[in-house]
Amino acid sequence: MILGKSLLIKLGSVYLALLLIFLMMDVNARPANMSAHKDKSPNSKEENEILPPDHLNGLKMEMDGHLNKDFHQEVFLGKELEEFEEDSEPRRNRKKLKDIFSKVDINKDKSVSAKEMQRWIMEKTEEHFQEAVKENKLNFRAVDPDGDGHVAWDEYRVKFLASKGFNEKEVAEKIKNNKELKIDEETQEVLENLKDRWFQADNPPADQLLNEEEFLSFLHPEHSRGMLKFMVKEIVRDLDQDGDKKLTLSEFISLPVGTVENQQAQDIDDDWVRERRKEFQEVIDANHDGIVTEEELEEYMDPMNEYNALNEAKQMIAVADENQNHNLELEEILKYSEYFTGSKLMDYARNVHEEF
């Protein structure tokens, strides 16, 4: 049947109206504080090759001071994190989870203790470290085209601006001849922050050149104690409102959250504040004096801190420990699979419970 022209126009108008409504709903439903690393754009991979990422796998806090909401899954799954997708086949995910449980359960008593979970967390964190090292080799080549093993700040600046859409040859020529670069204020601010980080990563004797190892510290400060300190100072600087270089609870929970326009957004904001308050009071503020110092935040951020790993193991066990024996059985991990893997397998587990 051939549709009339007027009818087609009406249908097109309805479609556009519905599309507009959908887009508006999506914007309002999305909290403003969601991590930028979740937004995958066609150009993001190229840019991320040379730009320090906001999100670092295996760290409890993002580079911008937000809590890493995927931390538990990252330190439980390691490289297998991407395999547990919400729309993937439940039976296959259940089998993977069972395999992981058997690896964590070192003494094969069909129960995971805090010590076993601690060992596993440390192992998965090291796995993230090795993955970052591997990626860094490729990223370093992108900014060291002449292959001399060193990158100057100006060389990096050219590549960074090129990734932002500037003409690489024109930028290189202007920098070479000390001519002014016409850069927008936002990009200039990012460059200034990157320059501070660049010189911080330049180990003594400072030569303003980064080798591959120093470039790794630049992109991944968790690999360097000195850079970890610098990262902590940046976070404290961004959150510290009274300039005392310490954080109070009110300062820690004052980051901008979602724009509250409906009850759903309000619930998201309330959950966000509640989560940050709990982390501040129960974990970061080690001496429970209501103040977080740079030293306390550094210990909290250190991914290879064994005490933190044990504390994290106990917290993870407490989430799913229904029989209160301070260990985890396979059935408990499966029931709380969304916490450990991001995939909800509980309903499926009820249907196949006899397989256990």
For 228-257, the pLDDT digits (tens) are 999 999 999 999 999 999 999 999 998 655
Contacts of 181 (CB under 8 A, 6+ apart): 161, 171, 174, 175
Place of tokens 């200034």: 192
Least confident range from 64-68, 132-136, 195-199, 276-280: namely 64-68
Helix/strand/coil for 36 = helix
Among residues 300, 76, 346, 42, which one has the least CA distance to residue 165?
42
State the amino acid at position 246 in one-letter form.
K
What is the residue-averaged pLDDT of the chain?
Answer: 81
State the amino acid at position 76 in one-letter form.
F
pLDDT at 335: 92
pLDDT at 53: 81
pLDDT at 124: 94
Please state, in angstroms and rounded to a whole number, the distance separating the CA atoms of residues 11 and 22. 16
pLDDT digits (tens, 9 = 90+) for 61-120: 888 888 988 898 999 998 888 887 655 677 888 899 999 999 999 999 999 999 999 999
Diameter of the chain measured on Cα atoms: 79
pLDDT at 11: 41
pLDDT at 49: 56
pLDDT for 261 beyond 90: no
Question: For the chain, which residues make up each domain, given as ranges?
Answer: 44-80+88-246+293-355
How many Cβ atoms from other residues are within 10 Å of residue 320's Cβ?
A: 18
Least confident range from 29-33, 41-45, 92-96, 174-178: namely 29-33
Give yes or no for a contact between 330 and 95, defined as CB atoms under 8 angstroms apart. no
Mean pLDDT, residues 200-207 taken together: 89
Please state, in angstroms and rounded to a whole number, the distance separating the CA atoms of residues 172 and 137. 24
Which one has a higher pLDDT value, 187 or 64? 187
Tokens standing for residue 194: 């990157």
Q: What letters, b where the CB count within 10 A reaches 16 and e where it falls short, cover 132-158?
A: beeebeebbeebbeeeeebbbbebbbb
pLDDT at 268: 60
Helix/strand/coil for 130 = helix
pLDDT for 178 beyond 70: yes
Please state, in angstroms and rounded to a whole number, the distance separating the CA atoms of residues 202 and 207. 7
Alpha helices in 153-261 (DSSP H): 153-163, 168-176, 185-201, 212-219, 225-239, 249-252
